C-alpha cells in the first residue's frame, strides 16, 4: 500500500513538473523544472529497486545534460532576430541524403526485428544485489561495439558543436 502511494505521488510530481517544463516562460526556469523532474524520476527508479539507474539518472541527466542546456541557453542570444540571408556554405542536398540514409537504416533495423524478433532481444539479467557488476560485464563484453559506436557519435557531435559555435574556423 505504501509503495503504491509513493509511486502515484512520484508519478504526479513527474507529470506536474513535466507540464511546468513545457509551459514556463523563462528558459532558465524551464531547465530548473527539468532538473527537479529528473530527480523525481531517479526517486521512481529507487522505488522500483534500480539503484544503478537512479544514480546514472542523477549524475548524467540532472548533472551533465542540464549543465549543457544551461550553457546553450546562456551562449545563444535568444533576443537576436533570425538571419535574413542564406549561408552559401549550406549543403542542403547532403543533409537530405544523410537523413534518408539514417531513415533507411532505421527501416532496415525494424524489418530485421520484425523478421526475427528473438534475435534482437538482449540477454536476460538475473535480478540480484550486484546488478551493477552484471551491467558492466554485459556492457564490456556483449555490447562493446555499440558502446564504442555511441562514444564515437558523441565525439562527432561535440566536434560539430564546437565548429558551429566557432564560426571563424
Question: 10: left (phi > 0), else alpha (psi -120 to 50), else beta?
Answer: alpha
Residue 114: what pLDDT? 74
Q: Which residue has the cell 542542403?
A: 92
Q: What is the CA radius of gyration of the chain?
A: 21
Is the Cα dihedral 19, 20, 23, 28 positive or negative? negative
Residue 122: what pLDDT? 59
Q: Residues for the chain: how many in total?
A: 169
Residue 62: what pLDDT? 79
Residue 5: what pLDDT? 93
Going by C-alpha positions, the residue among 57, 37, 36, 33 that lies closest to residue 45 is 57
Compute the half-sphere exposure of residue 78: CA atoms within 13 Å on the CB side of its CA: 9
Q: Domain boundaries in the chain? A: 1-78, 90-119, 132-169
Residue 105: what pLDDT? 85
> DSSP for 10-73?
HHHHHHHHHHHHHH-SSHHHHHHHHHHHHHHHHHHHHHTT-HHHHHHIIIIIIIIIHHHHHHHH
Residue 83: what pLDDT? 61
Going by C-alpha positions, the residue among 35, 43, 40 that lies closest to residue 63 is 35
Residue 71: what pLDDT? 74
| CATH number of 1-78, picked from 3.60.90.10, 1.20.120.1200, 1.10.3720.10, 3.40.50.300 | 1.20.120.1200
Answer whether 0.75 is exceeded by the pTM. Answer: no
Q: Which residues of the chain have pLDDT under 70?
A: 76-89, 116-130, 167-169
Amino acid at each position: 500500500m505504501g509503495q503504491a502511494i509513493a509511486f502515484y505521488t512520484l508519478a504526479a510530481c513527474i507529470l506536474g513538473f513535466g507540464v511546468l517544463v513545457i509551459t514556463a516562460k523563462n528558459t532558465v526556469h524551464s531547465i530548473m523544472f527539468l532538473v527537479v523532474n529528473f530527480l523525481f524520476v531517479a526517486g521512481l527508479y529507487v522505488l522500483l529497486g534500480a539503484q544503478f539507474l537512479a544514480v546514472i539518472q542523477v549524475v548524467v541527466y540532472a548533472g551533465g545534460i542540464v549543465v549543457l542546456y544551461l550553457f546553450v541557453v546562456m551562449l545563444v542570444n535568444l533576443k537576436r532576430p533570425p538571419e535574413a540571408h542564406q549561408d552559401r556554405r549550406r549543403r542542403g542536398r547532403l543533409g537530405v541524403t544523410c537523413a534518408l540514409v539514417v531513415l533507411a537504416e532505421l527501416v532496415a533495423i525494424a524489418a530485421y526485428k520484425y523478421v526475427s524478433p528473438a534475435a534482437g532481444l538482449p540477454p536476460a539479467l538475473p535480478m540480484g544485489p550486484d546488478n551493477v557488476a552484471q551491467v558492466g560485464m554485459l556492457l564490456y563484453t556483449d555490447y562493446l561495439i555499440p558502446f564504442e559506436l555511441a562514444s564515437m557519435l558523441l565525439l562527432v557531435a561535440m566536434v560539430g558543436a564546437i565548429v558551429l559555435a566557432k564560426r571563424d574556423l
